[in-house]
Amino acid sequence: MTASPQFLVGNELREWRRRRRVSQLELALRAGTTQRHVSFIEGGRSRPGREMVVRLAESLDVPLRDRNALLISAGFAPVYPEDGPEAETVRAALRHVLDGHLPYPAVIVDPHAELVDANPAFWALTGASPPVNVARLFLVDLAPRIRNLPEWGRHVLNGIDPELAAELAPFVPPWDPGPDYAGFAVPLRLESDLGELRLLTTLAHFGTALDVAVAELRLEAFLPGDPETAGILAKSVQTRSA
């Protein structure tokens, strides 16, 4: 027997609310409705309209792909396109961002850490070639060259989907941060033929996108942590381009 739409969407909304640790009252205030209405939706006593599903999903910061799933559960057609014209326009613009970051590495990945695009400095840094899963590249292939693998490995695991993180966790050595650890950003310390590289990273997401494929992209840009690293990166890119 198939569950009715109001029961399906109610169960899924309740699960998302629990994941976000938001009370019914707080969700109601965010979405501009009442706690009673939220309770009725979650209990399957009321079927929300399409606009209400979208408002509740936005209030819970539900990813676009999952918002489509909520709409389908409620009996509506999905409203967020998947890999439409916006996606290709954004990817073309991002290629300019990657090139503009040279001579420093930058990469674009999807939620499963699969490489979407990268600049020449990333290939010079890693010695890899596509296709590449960036998380596996760092935690498996490049692991012998990473001098702070326990710390850096946790940085990588924290930025990928839980299923892939569980698969790769055994490759990350145990680490005791000690009582003085304050959770600061962890630099990547990577051995190269020209010496040790110290790299800081910055992450960018595209939260205002209305295309599923665009919203799921992540840009990770590497920056030199010292003058020596800056010089090595510049020389590596020149050598690769020659």
Contact (Cβ atoms closer than 8 angstroms) between residue 218 and residue 205: yes
Say whether both 105 and 22 belong to one domain: no
Same domain assignment for residues 62 and 152: no
Residue 84 has pLDDT above 90, yes or no: no
- What's the token pair of residue 131? 């296709």
Q: How far apart are CA 235 and CA 178, in angstroms?
A: 37
Query: Does 223 fall in a domain?
Result: yes
Non-local CB neighbours of 192 within 8 Å, separated by 6+ positions: 125, 145, 232, 236
Identify the CA nearest to 121 among candidates 221, 29, 47: 221
Query: 51 in helix, strand or coil?
Result: helix
Tell me: the pLDDT tens digits for 220-241? Answer: 999 999 999 999 888 876 665 5
Contact between 197 and 152 under an 8 Å Cβ cutoff? The reply is no
Domain count, the chain: 2
pLDDT tens readout for residues 117-167? 999 999 988 999 888 999 999 999 999 999 999 999 988 998 888 889 999
106 with 69, same domain: the answer is no
Task: Report the candidate in 188, 186, 220, 29 with the shortest Cα–Cα distance to residue 117.
Answer: 220
pLDDT at 1: 40
Does 221 lie in the same domain as 116? yes
Do 197 and 231 fall within a single domain?
yes
Which of the four pLDDT bands, split at 50, 70 and 90, describes residue 171? very high
Which of 73, 108, 124 terminates a domain? The answer is 73
Query: 59 and 133 in one domain?
Result: no
Same domain, 237 and 128: yes
The 3-class secondary structure across 165-231, one letter per residue, is: HHHHHHHCCCCCCCCCCCCCCCCEEEEECCEEEEEEEEEEECCCCCCHHHHCCEEEEEEECCHHHHH
- Domain assignment present for residue 152? The answer is yes
CA 64 to chain centre: 13
Task: Tell the burial category of 7 from Cβ atoms under 10 Å away from its Cβ (0-12, 13-18, 19+).
Answer: middle
Same domain, 105 and 197: yes
Alpha-carbon torsion 216, 109, 226, 139, what sign?
Answer: positive
Q: Give the whole-angstrom CA distance, residue 45 versus residue 39.
A: 8
For residue 2, what pLDDT is reported? 45
Query: Do both 65 and 39 map to the same domain?
Result: yes
Peptide bond just before 103 cis, omega within 30 deg: yes
HSE value, Cβ hemisphere, 13 Å, CA-based, for 120 = 14
Residues 195 and 106 in one domain: yes
Q: Are residues 61 and 150 in the same domain?
A: no
Residue 78 lies in a domain: no
CA 118, 124, 130, 132 torsion-angle sign: negative
User: For position 28, what pLDDT does the model report?
Assistant: 94
* 181 pLDDT above the threshold of 80: no
- CATH code of 187's domain: 3.30.450.20
Question: Which CATH number covers residue 44?
Answer: 1.10.260.40
Statement to judge: residues 191 and 226 lie in one domain: yes
Separation CA 175–CA 154 (nearest Å): 9
**Comparison of pLDDT for 204 and 221, the residue scoring more:** 221
What is the domain range of residue 135?
A: 85-241
Write out pLDDT tens, residues 23-81: 999 999 999 999 999 999 999 888 899 899 999 998 998 888 888 888 888 888 887 77
